[in-house]
A and B are shown apart, each in its own frame.
Chain A
Amino acid sequence: MQQVPLDTFSIKLSRLFTAYFILILLSSLKLSAGGGGSGYSRFGVGDIRYFPNERSAAMGGASIALLGTQSISTLNPAAWTQLHRMRFSIGAAYEGYTMNDGSGSSFLSDARFNGVSVAIPISTEDGVILSTGLTPYSTVNFNSGRTGNEPNYTYDLKQIGEGGLSNAHLGFSAAFDGTWHFGVKFNYLFGTLKHITEQNFTSPELTDAEVRRNTRMNGASATFGAIFSGVGELFNLPESHMLTIGTVFTTETRLTTLQENFYKYSVVNLIIGRDTIHVTEGTSSLPLAAGIGVSYTLKERFVLSGDLYYQNWKKFTLLGTHPPEYRDSYRISLGGEFLPRKEVAAAFLEKTAYRFGVFYYASKLRIAGTGINEIGITGGLGLPMFGETRFNIGVEYSIRGTMKYEKDNILRVVFTLNSGELWFVRPPEE
């Protein structure tokens, strides 16, 4: 394969962006325990993070039927079959919440690591790709406070949430007949959910207390995916028009759960006692999930995609108990991408991918009969760097909830570095 040499300027610019991204990533690691987020993350296992990959993050989340040569999908393993190089992606995310409940408003923000994935082609002809990765599955991140009043004394009460579940996956894909794409991945969910309650009295003579409830969970599931990319042929569409449909199914996840409460008592910041009380051990159950999608690609430049993703949260249990606030959830995602030119010699802005999307998410929560829904718009860029490397930026703005409890205006910005190499790829035999 003949490669066009990069000029000095492009190399320098690419290095600038690489350095910039590393700085962001380090900042996100440092800030991962930052200011806080939405109070809705206190329920169950936290806010479920819907991030199939950096491309679909800017396309409203649409990805189930989306084949691609660069992005590694963490939602549908069948989408890996077109990865003809070893791909590596790593990302960071920023989230800013402006919250309002009619009594006032508050702004909390946080930055965190957003996952790493690797895909290694085993057989590019047959679309056999091996992929592994570590991505966040859910996030518990809230910071709320109020004042308690009792006869003769007052106290400040803080509720702080940290932690979440992560997903380590390992899977592979295969393609048949060039139009059927299948994939399976095994998911290992693990992590600790931390809920901290602090009671601090204004009088220095009274005992302050802190209880830290740690819920440790781990369990496994499997995801099966399929994409049929020959729909265009069925409708006799020209070759430049590709129509695909896809589906994905994730099994129920049974999580081994251990919940412990740690108590700390202090007077004038001097710790006077600690205690640990084991609350319970048992199992929790994350429900199955399923989705269908369709995508349309024109001349490999313009893509439209749409998904419907459903999860059976009515079956969710936490230590054997189904919380009453849970209902089934579904998400409708629509998005598009425009890539003017793919040639290496093309101009920088012509090689940039432009993405947009919208989504509607009827979340898993229904509190006292009021469903918590989210609607948002997305946009982003896939900036070419050197070789097969792209620096992707996705911005999402959404509104969630109700003023009755909490209305969130959420700004999410995701930075992902996606790179590709010819490692492990054997050239076709002549």
Chain B
Amino acid sequence: MKRLRECLQLYFFFMIASIALFSGCSDDASTVGSALFPNNVHVDSLFLYADSSATYRTAIAGNSENLVVGLYQNTVGLYQDTTEARLLLQFSIPFGIADTNILSAEVKLIRRYWFKDPSGILAFNIHKIKRAWSEFAVTFDSTNNAFYEPEMYGTFSQSVSPDDTLIVAQLNTALVRNWVRTRESNNGIILVPTEASTVIYGFTSSPFLPELFLRHVVPDSTRRIDTTIVPILQDAFVAYAPPHDSSPQLIYVQAGVADRGILHFDVRAIPDAASIVSAKLTFVRNSALSVQNELSIHSIDVHPITDTTQGSLRLGVSDIAKPVAGGTSSEFTANINTIVQQWVIGRPNYGVALRAFGEFSTLDRFVFYGATADSLNHRPQLRIIYSIMH
């Protein structure tokens, strides 16, 4: 019994000691003994101007939350420009409507955006689209005269102001009856602005907007008149502006059209294995040539260009550049440390592409000073802070 007691005492002593020893009670890393470690971290900085800049155009289909239509022309003064937007709509005609009983057809649009001026004349003609199209693939060039019939199935011309949130355009019922009789003929309509138009408006696009209102006689004994709201099947807008002045001193970034800018910086002076702590990109807007308003989205996407083969630029995930003081400030900045880090670790440096944040939903135009701007303060700059750990 005594021996058992002694041994059990020994056993529990070891267990308790082990629990104390192996309880994992260690402090966090501290500065104690830091004098034994060399200061193996070196922080440095590099300031660069863009060594080149350019503007390039890419055809897009605007299929976001805005549908834009209208025409803006400025043919006088120092800065002459033209921008045109066309709107494509295709509605899903429901069953149960008799073609002979359609009394009226109205397209209703809810305004949420305008380009340049909000007041003026909005004028467009409505044409029947002759062939199938996709809201994701249609471009301005594809909406040529062979795309739609010359006959007009509706017109709209009205003086508009910011108070006008609802636009109603009458649609020729013969077109709708044709869709009811022959569903395969329903490729939708295109709204083409006329020379009389002086404004460009943007309208809400959602699963329920725009709407086609059909007044028709119900084909039963009551012969009552009913209104059917036809849902939208697909919609898009396409835009055009003449190629901009190819001055290397300016970069054009315009949504909807779409123009994009390219900036290139030579970062070869950064040592291998550097950690890019911060890379602040700054570029300055030319306010006189830029076209924005209170509805504009004042942000620019900055993408790394990942590939230049196959005739087009492939872009990577973007950072966002915003005005320094917010809103209408002329200086835009973005921290593109993730982009510059890719260049440092060996990815090809094709530069960055600037895209309007609302490229698929607006026509906002940003004009920035380029790599050869007269004033050094206007040229795109990249301030890099990097860290070297040995």
Contact = CB atoms under 8 A, between A and B. Distances in A.
A199 B28 CA distance: 16
A290 interface: no
B308 to A, nearest CB: 21
Contacts of B75: none
Contacts of A275: 273, 345-346
A267 interface: yes
A273 B27 CA distance: 31
Contact of B29 (A13, A36, A40, A206): A36
Given A42-B36, A207-B278, A16 B26 contact: no
B24 A109 contact: yes
Given A9-B3, A145-B29, A273 B37 contact: no
14 contacts: A16-B11, A34-B26, A36-B26, A101-B33, A104-B31, A106-B30, A109-B21, A153-B277, A158-B29, A205-B278, A265-B345, A277-B273, A347-B3, A413-B21
Interface string A201-232: 10001111101000000000000000000000
The number of chain B residues touching the other chain, given as a range, is: 35 or more
The number of chain A residues touching the other chain, given as a range, is: 35 or more
Contact of B389 (A111, A142, A150, A197): A197
Given A207-B277, A404-B35, A406-B32, 13 more contacts: A31-B24, A36-B29, A96-B21, A106-B30, A108-B27, A144-B36, A157-B41, A199-B41, A205-B337, A209-B275, A267-B338, A272-B338, A277-B273
Interface string B333-376: 00101100110011000000000000000000000000000000
B36 A111 contact: no
B45 to A, nearest CB: 10
A143 interface: yes
Contacts of B30: 104, 106, 144-145
Given A35-B24, A99-B33, A209-B389, A20 B14 contact: yes
B27 A199 contact: no
B22 A111 contact: yes
By secondary structure, the B interface counts as mixed
Contacts of B272: 277
A39 B27 contact: no
B152 interface: no
A333 B389 CA distance: 41
A104 B32 contact: yes
Contacts of A143: 29
A31 B32 contact: no
Interface string B307-346: 0000000000000000000000000000101100110011
Interface string B12-51: 0011001001101111111111111100110100000000
A248 to B, nearest CB: 31
Interface string A74-107: 0000000000000000000010100111011111
Nearest to A13: B7
Contacts of A36: 26, 29
Nearest to B35: A405
Contacts of A34: 24, 26
A160 B37 CA distance: 11
Contact of B337 (A16, A96, A207, A261): A207
B337 A267 contact: yes
Contacts of A105: 32
A16 to B, nearest CB: 6
Contacts of B26: 34-36, 107-110
B4 interface: yes
A206 B337 contact: yes
A39 B36 contact: yes
9 nearest A-B pairs in the assembled complex, by CB-CB distance: A35-B26, A209-B275, A39-B33, A145-B29, A406-B33, A39-B36, A275-B345, A106-B30, A106-B32
A109 B22 CA distance: 9
B15 A20 contact: yes
Contacts of B346: 275
Contacts of A99: 32-33
Contacts of A160: 29
Q: Indicate the member of B18, B30, B43, B273 with the most A CB atoms within 10 Å.
A: B30
B281 to A, nearest CB: 13
A148 interface: yes
A9 B8 CA distance: 11
B22 A94 contact: yes
A59 B335 CA distance: 62
A99 B33 CA distance: 8
A131 B379 CA distance: 75
A27 B22 CA distance: 8
A150 B43 contact: yes
B387 interface: yes
Given A35-B24, A146-B34, A273-B345, A263 B15 contact: no
A17 B13 CA distance: 12
A138 B21 CA distance: 22
A348 B31 contact: no
A144 B337 contact: no
A34 B27 CA distance: 11
A105 B14 CA distance: 28
A145 B33 CA distance: 9
A145 B31 contact: yes
A106 B4 CA distance: 41
A106 B275 contact: no
Contact of A406 (B6, B35, B275, B276): B35
Contacts of B29: 36, 143-145, 158-160
A273 B32 contact: no
A367 B36 contact: yes
A155 B345 CA distance: 22
B345 A263 contact: yes
Contact of B273 (A35, A39, A146, A211): A211
Contacts of B43: 148, 150
Contact of A209 (B25, B33, B387): B387
A24 interface: yes
A301 interface: no
A38 interface: yes
